[in-house]
Structure 1
Amino acid sequence: MRLWQDARTLFVDIQADDAEPGAIVARQMRRDVEGMLAEDQVTLVIDAEGAGRNGYLFAVNAHGAQFDALIYDGGLMRHDWDAQWTSEARIGADGWRARLAIPLSVFGRGDSATWRINAERWMPRGSERVRLAGARPDKTVYSLGDAIAIPALRSGRDGGGLRIKPSLRVSHESSAASGSGKPEQRIEPGLELFHESHGGLRTTAALNIDFGEAEADERTVNLTRFELFRPEKREFFLRDAGRFSFGGLVEAAVIPYYSRRIGLDAGGRARALDAGLKLTGSAAGLEFGAFAARVAGGATEPGLPDQPSADVAVLRLAKPLDARQRVGLLATRGNPQGTAGSRLWGVDYQFRDTTWSGGRTLEAHGWAMQSTNADAAAGADVTGRAWGGSLAYLNTGPMASAEFQRIGAGFDPALGYLAEANVLRGQGTAGWWHRTRDGASVIPAVDWSYRRTLDGAERTRVLNPEVAYTNAAGDTVMAEVFFEADRLASGYAPVPGTWLAPGSYRWQYLYGLLETSPSRPLWVSAELRAGGYYDGRRNDQFVTLGWKPDSRWEARVGMGRNAITLPTGRFTVKLATLRLDHAPDTRLAQSVLLQWDNVSQALGVSARLRWTDWLGAPGRELVFALDRLGYTGDRREPLPRQTRATLKLVWNLER
C-alpha cells in the first residue's frame, strides 16, 4: 500500500497479490454493506488528530465497492457515516489492484504534526488477516491506540476550505401522509455549507433540509413495555457524531443526546430542518462539539393541533488528561416537541488502555447527569438525576464486563433516549475467549442482568449461560439457556388478546442462533426460542435467507413468528420482509424493501435509488425515495393508504 498526495487529495494505491485470482471473493458493488468486510478487502484507518481518540475508516473490495465509518472514543465505530471519496479496483492475473482518492478536506485542517494510521487486508477463503499494527485476534483495526505515527499530510490548496452543497427537492405526500387531510406537493431548495479552518474548526450549516430519503427502519413488533431503540440514519446528524458521544452509552437504556428526537414528531413523522448549525473541532487541547437547530412545525394528524417549531441545542466538551484518560461535559437545551423549559447537563470520565497487561484492552466509563423540565400542569420545574458506570475487559482468555445505572424518578432527557426512569439496573458478562489454531473462536460465558424500580415495586432478574462458536470464515453457532424472574407492579398486554396481570413470575427457555458468513453467495441467519414466558409459553422462529447470484444483484427474504400462549389468551405475531438490491456499478444503487406484520396489518413498500456522479458529472448526486403504506386484513374502518415520494438533486461544489 502506498500513500501519496497532491494539493487537494490523498491517494492510496493498493497492490493485493494473489496466486489464485479466480478464487478472490468479491460479491458487493453497493456502498456501506457490512457484508463487504467479510470479502477480500483492504481497510485503511486514519487518525488525523494523532491523539488516538477520533478517526476515519475507509475500506475497498476487489470490485472497488466502498465502506467508510467514523471512529470515536478510541475504538468505537459508526458505519452510518459517509464521506465524499472515490475508489476503483480491478482483478488481474496476479491478484487485484485498487486506488482510493480521498479529499484532504475530510480530515480537517488541524495543526497536528502527526497522524496515526493502521491498515489490514482480509482474505476470507484462507481466513487470513494481515495488519500493519496491533495484530491480535481480540483487537480491531480501528483500535486507534495501536495505530502507528506518520508525519501529518497537509493540503496545498489556496482556497478557503469551503464546500457548498445546494440541493433541489421535489416531494409529494398523499392526504393520509401529510397530516393536513389533503395531498401536498412541494418544490423546495436546500443548502448545506461545510467549512474547514486552518485551526481545525469544522463548521456545518444547513437550511431547509429534509430527511425523506433516509433508509427505512426495519420493522419490529415490540413485545416489551419500553420504547425500542432505533439507530440514526440521517446523514446530517451522522457527520462528526462521535464528537457528541457520552459516557460510553451506545444503544443503551439511557442516552442524553439522541438525534432521532430532532426532526420527528410524536407520531414518528419526519420534519424538515429549517436551519441548523454545527461546530466541531479541537482547540488548546479541548475537543468540542456544538449543535443548534430550528425544526419546522406543521400538521400532525387531522383534527389535532399543529406542532410548533422547536429550537434545540447541544454542547459537548472533552479534555484528554493523557493518552488513556478523558473527562467531559455535555449540555442540552430545548424540547423537540416545541415546548419550553427543558435542559440537561452531565459529566463523564473515560479510561481506555490498549496496552494493558501485554497488549490487552481495558476500558472504563463513569457519568452523572441532571435534567430539568417544565411541568405546565404543576406550574413548576421537575428535576431528576442519573448516574452510572461500566468496566470492560474483553480480550482472549478470561473476559468480563459490567455496567450499572441509577435513573431517578424525575429524570427525563428531552433530547435523549430513556427506556424508563425510577430504576436501578445492571448487566454484564463473564467468560473465556478461546482461539483455536485455525482461527476459530469458542466462548463459553454467563450473561446476567438486573433491574429494580427505586420504590421496590418491580424487580427483574435474568441469568443466561451460553456458548458460542465462530469459525475462521465467520460462520457462527450459539446456544443459550435463560432463567428469568419478573415482578410486575401493573399489568400489560404484550400482544393483542392477551394480558399479564400484576404479580411475580419465574420461567426458563432455550435460545439458539445459526449464522453463515455473508461472504458466501448463499447465506442464512436463523433464531429459535422455546420455553416459558411468564405464566405461559412463547416459541419464536426467525429465518433470513440471502442470495447473491453475482456482484450486481442481491435478494433477501425474512420470515418470523412469535407464538405466545397465556392463560388469558393466545396470539401469534407474524413478520415478513423481502428486499431486492441492484448495483450495476459502484456509483448506482437501487433497492426495494417490502415489510408486513399481522399486528398493524400494514404492508410497507420502500424504494430507494442513489446515483452519484450522475450523467458523468463528478460531485452531482440524484436520490429518489418512495414510501407507501397500505393495510391488509379485515378492518371495520379501513385505514387510508399513505404515500410519500421525494426526488432530490444534489451538487457538491468545493473551493
Structure 2
Amino acid sequence: MDEPAWDAISTLPMVQYEPNAGEAPTERTEIRLAYDDTYFYCSMRAYDSDPNGVRATSLYRDRISGSDHLELLLDTYNDNETAYVFTTTPAGIRNDLEISNDGTGGTISSNTWLNRDFNTFWDAETTVTDQGWFAEIRIPFSSLRFQDTDGRVIMGLTVQRKVARKLERLVFPAVPPKTNFAFLRPSLAQKIVLTGIKPIKTLYVTPYVLAGHEQINALNDSGTGYDQRGEFQGNLGGDVKFSITNNLTADFTINTDFAQAEADDQLVNLSRFSLFFPEKRQFFQERASIFDFRTGGLSRLFFSRRIGLTATGEQVPIYGGVRLIGRMNTWDLAVLDMQTQRQDTIPSENFGVLRLRKRVFNRNSYLGGMFTSRIDTEGNSNLAYGVDGLIRVAGDDYLTLQWAQTFDSRFVDQAAADFKSGRLALEMNRRRRRGFGYTVGAIFSGPNYNPGVGFVDRSDFKYGTTALSHTWFRESGPFIWHKLEALGNAYLDNSSNYVLSSEYGAEWSFSRRNLDGGSVLVKKVYENILTDFPLAEGVVIPPGMYDFYRISGTYSMAVDRTVRTGAVLETGTFYDGWLHTLTLTPSWYQSKYFQLNLEYSYNYGIFDNRNEILNFHIARLRVGTALNRHISTNALLQYNGAQDLLSYNVRFRWNFREGQDLWIVVNSGLNTDRMAFTPNLPRTANRSILLKYIHTFIF
C-alpha cells in the first residue's frame, strides 16, 4: 500500500451510493487497481477524520458484522449475470461470495441470488493508523474463471468503500440505487479490459482425516425404553480441484465429508407444504448458480441436498463424485455425477446432472437446458429434463420461462404425452426500483411431476400471480424511497379448476435516510382444506373453506449498527381461529472478539370452536468468538418449542493458512419434555464430537 508503484496509478472517482446518491464522499478515499500476469490487485487508502471511529467488529472469515470494509465485485465472464465479490475489513478478515441472476429476483426466480457459502483462494492485508485504515487485496487469476479472446479479457467491475458509523457507501462506477442492492448487480458494473494474463494451471489436492465419537439412543426390542450405545468414527477422504483451462474446472471428491458444515436452522411449519433448507456444504458451492433451474417459488429441478442427505437431514455416506464447470464462448457447461453408499433401507444411488446454457439475443439473455438422473441399485430410476430462458425484452423488463418433465419408473401409469409429469413456469417483471413496477406470472404443475434430484413444495395445480407497484425516491426528508404495492395470487386445482388457496393484499415498504427499513402488509387469505390438516400437536384444522385476514408489520435497523434489531409482528384471523406471531432479531457486535445474534419467534394461536391452543417458542442464538483471524469458535444454540428440543452445534476452527484447517465439532440435543411420550424419551438426544483436519497441497 505504501509502495511507490501505487502512486503512479490513478485513483478511481468514488461517489456516494447511500445515503445521498451521487454526492461526493465525506471522507478522502483513494482506491487503485492493478494486475500482472498472475494476480489482480486492489488497494485502498481509507483516510478518516475520526480514526477512532473506524469499525472492525469481527475476526471471523465471511462475517463483516457491521465493519467498515472494502469490497470488489468482478463479473469475470462479462455475462452481466454472475460475479465474484471479495471483501476485507480493517481487521483483515476475508469475505467472499457469488452473485447470480444479476442480483435480482421476482416471484418465480426469487431468492438465493447471493451465495454466501462460497470460498476460494485469495489474500488480504490491512493496517489501521491515526490517519484511517489501509488495505490491499490480491486475487490469483487461477481462483477466477474467465474467457480470453485474442489475448483480451473483458470483465465487469464495481468497487465500494463502506464507512459504517456514517452509514455511507461509496461506489465506483456511479451506480444509481434504482433497485435493491444495485451496487451488487453485475449488469451495472464498469467494463474493464485486461491483456497478457497468464494464470498458472493450479492443482489443489485437499485430503482430510476425521475421528470422533457418537452417542446414539435407539428404541429397545421390546419398545419399552431406549438403549444407549457409542460408536467411534474414523474416516479418510479428500477433494481434488484442477483448472483445465481459464474457464473450465474439474473437481473430484472421494469419501466426501461435510462434518464442519453448520447445522440446519430449527423451523416450524405452519403451512401444508414442505420446508426448504439451503445448501451449506462447501463442495456444492462454487458456481452453484449455473445449476440453478427454478420452476416456481422455491421449487427447482436440481437441489443438491438430495445428494447425501435424507429428507430429515440425516447424512448418507458418499463414495465420491466429479463435477465439471466452465464456459466455452457463449456456452455455459456444468456436469455433476455423485454416488452414495447404501444406508439401512436406503439403497446405493447414482445422481447425475447435465446443465447447458447459451447467451442469446443480447448480453442479458440466455436459453438453456438441464437433464437429471437418480438411479439406485434396486432398479428404480427417476429421470428429468428441462428447458429454460431469461429474455431481456426491453430496458429493465425481463421474461423468465421454464419447462420441466420427469419420468419415474415407479409410476407405471404415467403418460408423458398429456403433461401430467410436467411443470411450466412463466414470468414477466420489471427489475427496477423506481417509478412503476410489475410482476405477472403463471405456473402449471402436473400431478406426477416429481424431480428425484429436485425440490417441490407443492404440485398438481395451476397458479397465477400479479403485483403492481410504484416507488418514489426522495432527495431529502426521512425516506430515501418508499413503495406501494398491490399483489395477489391464486392456486387452482388442475382437474376441477376450483380455488385451492389465494392471497390478495397491499404492502407499503420503505427505506429511511438512516438505512433502517420496514413494511406494512394487509392481506386476505383463502384456503380450501380437503383433509385434516395437523397444524401442531393437539391442533388440527378440519376440512372446509376458510377466509381470513392477516396484517403484519416489519422494522429492521441498518445492518451496519453495532447494536441493532429487527422486529416482525403479524396478527389476524387464521383458519377458524386467531394467530399472533412476534419475531425479534437482535444483534450485538461487542467487539471483533465477541458477537451475539439472536432470532426469537413466539407463536400463539387460539381456536375457540375446538378449544385448541397453539403456543410455542423458537429461538436461535449464534455466539461468535475469536482470538485472531486464525482461531475462532462459533456456537449455534437452538430451542424448538414445537418439538420440545434444545440443541447445540459448536464449531472450533484453527485456520493455519488458507486450505489448512483443524475443526472440532460438537453436536447434541436435550429433550425438554421427556414425559410426554411413551416410553419416556432419554434426557440427551444423539450426541457427537468430531475432530477433522484438512490440508490443501497446491501444485
TM-score (norm. length: structure 2)? 0.86
Q: Deviations over 1:477-525 (max 9, x none)?
A: 3222121111122221211212212111111122111211232222112
Contact 1:202 1:279 (8 Å CA) reproduced: yes
Paired residue for 1:406? 444
Question: Is 1:99 the equivalent of 2:136?
Answer: yes
Out of 448-457 and 226-235, give the one that drifted further.
448-457
Instruction: Tell me the distance in 2 between the aligned counterparts of 1:109 and 1:391.
Output: 30
Instruction: Tell me the distance in 1 between the aligned counterparts of 2:268 and 2:458.
Output: 19
Paired residue for 1:473? 514
Does the residue aligned with 2:421 lie in a helix, a strand or coil?
Answer: strand
Question: Is 1:331 the equivalent of 2:371?
Answer: yes
Out of 325-334 and 516-525, give the one that drifted further.
516-525
Instruction: Tell me the distance in 1 between the aligned counterparts of 2:378 and 2:280.
Output: 23
* Pairing partner for 2:58 from 19, 28, 46: 28
Offset at 1:429?
2.6
Instruction: Tell me the distance in 1 between the aligned counterparts of 2:313 and 2:499.
Output: 30
* Pairing partner for 2:426 from 389, 397, 402: 389
Contact 1:109 1:198 (8 Å CA) reproduced: no
Paired residue for 2:693? 649
Paired residue for 2:39? 9
Amino acid at match of 1:372: F
Paired residue for 1:80? 117
Q: 1:77 to 1:177 in 2, by over 3 A?
A: farther
Write the mapping of 1:553-592 to structure 2, written as runs, cut at 5 A.
553-566=594-607, 567-568=609-610, 569-592=612-635
Contact 2:347 2:376 (8 Å CA) reproduced: no
Question: Is 1:172 the equivalent of 2:213?
Answer: yes
Q: 1:381 to 1:276 in 2, by over 3 A?
A: farther
Q: Deviations over 1:317-345 (max 9, x none)?
A: 00111312210010100158976220000
Offset at 1:276?
1.1
Amino acid at match of 1:148: Q
* Pairing partner for 1:278 from 305, 308, 323: 323
Question: Is 1:637 the equivalent of 2:679?
Answer: yes
Q: 1:428 to 1:552 in 2, by over 3 A?
A: farther
Q: 1:80 to 1:403 in 2, by over 3 A?
A: farther
Q: 1:488 to 1:574 in 2, by over 3 A?
A: same
Instruction: Tell me the distance in 2 between the aligned counterparts of 1:6 and 1:284.
Output: 24
Q: Deviations over 1:405-449 (max 9, x none)?
A: 111111001100101110112334322222222462212222322
Instruction: Tell me the distance in 2 between the aligned counterparts of 1:268 and 1:324.
Output: 37
Paired residue for 2:351? 312
Offset at 1:397?
1.6
Paired residue for 1:622? 662
Instruction: Tell me the distance in 2 between the aligned counterparts of 1:554 and 1:482.
Output: 37
Write the mapping of 1:319-358 to structure 2, written as runs, cut at 5 A.
319-321=358-360, 322-334=362-374, 340-352=380-392, 357=395
Instruction: Tell me the distance in 2 between the aligned counterparts of 1:55 and 1:468.
Output: 28
Quote the sequence identity (%): 21
Instruction: Tell me the distance in 2 between the aligned counterparts of 1:233 and 1:336.
Output: 25
Paired residue for 1:195? 242
Contact 2:142 2:201 (8 Å CA) reproduced: no
Paired residue for 2:183? 141
Instruction: Tell me the distance in 2 between the aligned counterparts of 1:7 and 1:491.
Output: 66
Amino acid at match of 1:367: Q
Q: 1:520 to 1:199 in 2, by over 3 A?
A: closer
Q: Deviations over 1:155-195 (max 9, x none)?
A: 546x5421111111113222238999843222211111111
Offset at 1:289?
0.4
Paired residue for 1:429? 467
Paired residue for 1:303? none
Does the residue aligned with 1:585 lie in a helix, a strand or coil?
Answer: coil
Instruction: Tell me the distance in 2 between the aligned counterparts of 1:432 and 1:623.
Output: 50
TM-score (norm. length: structure 1)? 0.91
Root-mean-square deviation (CA), in Å? Answer: 2.5
Q: 1:283 to 1:178 in 2, by over 3 A?
A: farther
Amino acid at match of 2:306: R
Unaligned regions of 5+ residues in structure 1, if any? 300-305
Paired residue for 1:239? 286
Amino acid at match of 1:435: F
* Pairing partner for 2:81 from 34, 50, 53: 53
Offset at 1:9?
3.3
Q: Deviations over 1:311-370 (max 9, x none)?
A: 0100000011131221001010015897622000000111247xx65xxx3332111111
Question: Is 1:416 the equivalent of 2:420?
Answer: no
Contact 1:278 1:291 (8 Å CA) reproduced: yes
Instruction: Tell me the distance in 1 between the aligned counterparts of 2:143 and 2:50.
Output: 36
Out of 567-576 and 317-326, give the one that drifted further.
567-576
Question: Is 1:62 the equivalent of 2:94?
Answer: no
Q: 1:379 to 1:365 in 2, by over 3 A?
A: closer
Amino acid at match of 2:203: L
Unaligned regions of 5+ residues in structure 2, if any? 1-30, 104-112, 221-226
Q: 1:437 to 1:510 in 2, by over 3 A?
A: same
Instruction: Tell me the distance in 2 between the aligned counterparts of 1:588 and 1:459.
Output: 53
Offset at 1:546?
1.8
Contact 1:373 1:381 (8 Å CA) reproduced: no
Contact 1:124 1:473 (8 Å CA) reproduced: no
Amino acid at match of 2:465: Q
Write the mapping of 1:432-451 to structure 2, written as runs, cut at 5 A.
432-438=470-476, 440-451=480-491
Does the residue aligned with 2:290 lie in a helix, a strand or coil?
Answer: helix
* Pairing partner for 1:123 from 159, 163, 166: 163
Q: Deviations over 1:103-160 (max 9, x none)?
A: 2211136424222222122224434332222511124223222222223366546x54
